[in-house]
Homo-oligomer: A and B are copies of this chain.
Amino acid sequence: MSQHHPLTLLKLGGSIITDKDIPMSLREDVLADLVRQIADARNYLAKNQEQLIIGHGQGSFAHMPAAQYKTMGGFINEESVLGMAIVQDSAAQLNRLVVHACIRHELPAVTFAPSNTLITRERKPAEFFLSLLEAYLDKGLWPVTGGDVLLDYEQGCTIWSTEEVLAYLAIELQKRQRSVKRIIHVTEVPGVLDETGAVVPRLTPENWPRVKKAIGRTKGFDVTGGMLLKVEESLGLLKHNVESLIISGLEPNNLYQALVGKEWRGTLVTAR
């Protein structure tokens, strides 16, 4: 057994905390309510010696310049270097708003920016500074991370989605003897929907091929893939013993219920 506290990785979706149609527009009320639910769960988490890593999507912040400058593909023209800078700035601006919302609830939230702690080569991890993430956790701080633009030794830069960041962190933290229990994806939809529009409560490698056909394009503006990517990352994490919850952040107290182990509504991605 690990001497470290078990971890929940929490993704606040970009489509739920930002207004997807208006550049750089925060849905302050939604963010504040989600952070309030996290803060309400704080005592429960402390009592159970659990810790959280919060990640947020980029919604109408970094996705827009990332699409404009095709930042995922790297330095493709003479505007790309400035484009990378603009994407980092947009991502970091939203990160500040999320951190600040946490601080207003007296959560000791600190930025853990992938753009400052991870370098890739052809989009694969090349160098990283995860000792900082571990040190933050060990000191009782609440890391706040998210999708970001990364320096890439080969192509100049790239984008990692919040899903990619959290999946990477889950696997790396487990290599470091830290137990990652689960990833909770807080979205604007009730979960993964079947062909009738009903929520699929349990999604497994067995029923996925059938459910997959029903998943269309995710609502919202997202250069990094939406629900399909979310589920496929989640299925990939099952072999690392990490389950995923895909839940609505718009249903009252649904996130709180999930955090404190009470009944929640949404989709559980699980091995069987």
Contact = CB atoms under 8 A, between A and B. Distances in A.
Contacts of A151: 132, 135-136, 139, 141
Interface in A150-168: 151, 153, 156-157
Q: How large is the interface on A (under 10, 10 to 19, 20 to 34, 35 or more residues)?
A: 35 or more
Contact of A108 (B84, B103, B127): B84
A43 to B, nearest CB: 15
A182 to B, nearest CB: 24
A100 B102 CA distance: 23
Contacts of A132: 116-117, 119, 127, 129, 151
A104 to B, nearest CB: 10
Contacts of A93: 96
Contact of A92 (B96, B117, B127, B135): B96
A46 to B, nearest CB: 13
Nearest to A139: B156
A88 interface: yes
Interface string A85-113: 11011001100100110110011111111
A261 interface: no
A113 B116 contact: yes
